[in-house]
Structure 1
């Protein structure tokens, strides 16, 4: 899916904001930079009341990543304000590739909760945290699923046996074990060298990491 088609999908989603796009963007053109980003974010995501504190964090991250972002934002707002249509699909069709890229740069962190591209194979990447609880990607299924890592029934909900489950016999003092569990590891093992090479991005596969280690030993 290309950027333009993805942006069309985002702007075609059900909207909460009822203010006409053109009038709202015209009002944003002369706003302070962070206020303009907030207004653009609300209009592009179709939401009112986005958190100004999150907007401030997002603004700083986007500017730190690309010093030309303020100019890109001004350009996007100006071009949107100049359009004479309220058809969001047509609006995307009138934007050039640079404006589409800027719009997605603004929208993506609000949905994903981070900027940049997180990597599972490198120790360091360019991803930066923006928000977790307010990430918009969780909204469509919020009535059925919880945000990852959050306990559905509050802290320590797991100590009670779920309804309908027959638990096996457990030691009487199991709830007091904590970090003193008989099965707890006494120390944290040093990472194995092949795994470390893959995490550091020096090797893509286990076989490649093992070859690197073997070559180092024979060098």
Structure 2
């Protein structure tokens, strides 16, 4: 799926259509990049009153990620103002590739809650936290599920066997184990050198990592 199609799917979601584009939103030029980012964010997500503190944090992170972001943002805002379309899918179709890339870099963190790309195989990546509770991805199911930020039924609610489930036999006093499980490790082993090189992204295979160690 290319960037443009993905962005069109995001702006076409029913939760986003709650607020159409209108002349009031694009009538005046923002006097700062943060204000400009706020306006563009509201245009693309279809929401008024997005948290200004989150907007400021997002702007700082996007500038840190790409030094040319302010210029790209100004360009995107100018083109959105010129188009003045109330059809977001058509609006995205009218943007060029650079504007689509910039728009995605803005919209994605509002939904996912982070910038960059988190990695599960490297110790360091370029992902940075933007927001959790205000991440828009939770909006479509807000009437059915809680945002996963706390125990939903009180402390240790997961210890109770769900209705209709037959649990296997457990050791006595298992609920009191906590971090004192008999099977728990009492210390964390130092990582083996080849594995550490791969996790750090310095080597892509075990053979490559071992070769690097052999040269040291």
The alignment's TM-score, normalised by the length of structure 2, stands at 0.83
The offset of 1:4, in angstroms, is: 1.7
SS at match of 1:103: helix
Query: What is the match of residue 183 of structure 1?
Result: 183
The answer as to whether partners of 2:4 and 2:92 remain within 8 angstroms in 1 is yes
Distance in 2 between residues matched to 1:215 and 1:91, nearest whole Å: 51
Query: What is the match of residue 45 of structure 1?
Result: 45
Pick from 18, 28, 48 the counterpart of residue 16 of structure 1.
18
The answer as to whether partners of 1:42 and 1:50 remain within 8 angstroms in 2 is yes
The answer as to whether partners of 2:72 and 2:99 remain within 8 angstroms in 1 is yes
The answer as to whether partners of 2:198 and 2:209 remain within 8 angstroms in 1 is no
Query: What is the match of residue 209 of structure 1?
Result: 206
Does residue 32 of the first structure (1) align with residue 29 of the second (2)?
A: no
Q: Structure 1, residues 153-185: CA drift from partner, whole Å, max 9, x if none?
A: 2332123333334443542x4433322232221
Distance in 2 between residues matched to 1:75 and 1:218, nearest whole Å: 49
The answer as to whether partners of 2:20 and 2:86 remain within 8 angstroms in 1 is no
Q: Which moved more, 1:195-204 or 1:33-42?
A: 195-204
Distance in 2 between residues matched to 1:131 and 1:64, nearest whole Å: 17
Does residue 162 of the first structure (1) align with residue 168 of the second (2)?
A: no
Distance in 2 between residues matched to 1:159 and 1:90, nearest whole Å: 50
The offset of 1:17, in angstroms, is: 1.7
CA RMSD in angstroms comes to 2.6
Aligned residues: 213
Query: What is the match of residue 64 of structure 2?
Result: 64
The offset of 1:196, in angstroms, is: 1.9
SS at match of 1:99: helix
The answer as to whether partners of 1:118 and 1:126 remain within 8 angstroms in 2 is yes
Query: Following superposition, which runs of at least 4 residues in structure 1 exceed 6 angstroms of deviation?
Result: none
List runs of 5+ in structure 1 lacking aligned partners. none
- Alpha carbons of 1:114 and 1:90: their partners in 2 closer, same or farther (altered >3 Å)? same
List runs of 5+ in structure 2 lacking aligned partners. none
